[in-house]
A and B are shown apart, each in its own frame.
Chain A
């Protein structure tokens, strides 16, 4: 069964510092990959998605992620953190064969210190 692992349940960075949130997937076939963000008391909002068109994917709010097949990773980065980036981030995978729903990682809560 495919799964998603997010390393680090909490990440804290200073404002202006690099943000790196890690995601690894297990799948023998490159899947569709997603990063979602959840602000307090809200639903999930799509940040970006990988669908095999390009390995470096740019999303909203200055975030990007790189698909690395050899490492089965899809880490999320942002060059300079902003206070408004404080939220919970979820990596998710959908394999094009198999069940219809996304499989989510356990989430990473990002704190941004002033």
Chain B
């Protein structure tokens, strides 16, 4: 089974602090994603990475940065946390499509989430 783990389930930080959220997957997936989840808004993509050291902005990258130095690990960084970044953060991963473009090509596997509160 694919396993995606996140470093913390709950985190409380103060405004202005630098915050690191870590995500690790154990299935050698090329693609990794960070989403934030807010009531009534569903999941919104912050950043994704399609290879080591490669990244692309998602829909709401402002106030966030990411790092992918190793294939299995994808970090989300809040340079200076603000109260409007209080949210549930979800990490996901998936492999590249196979040569035959198999059925499971675009299924994403999610971690348990980190509920971040910024006070």
Contact = CB atoms under 8 A, between A and B. Distances in A.
Contacts of B40: 9, 106-107
B42 A32 contact: no
Contacts, number: 58
Contacts of B66: none
In this complex, the interface size class of chain B, counting residues with CB under 8 Å from chain A, is 20 to 34
A49 B103 contact: yes
User: A interface, by DSSP: helix, strand, loop or mixed?
Assistant: loop
Interface of A: 6, 9, 32, 34, 36, 41-46, 49, 51, 53, 90, 94, 96, 99-102, 104-107
28 contacts: A9-B40, A32-B106, A34-B107, A36-B110, A41-B115, A43-B111, A43-B112, A44-B92, A46-B107, A46-B109, A49-B104, A49-B107, A51-B103, A51-B105, A90-B42, A90-B43, A100-B50, A101-B33, A101-B45, A101-B108, A102-B106, A102-B108, A104-B35, A104-B43, A104-B44, A105-B42, A106-B40, A107-B40
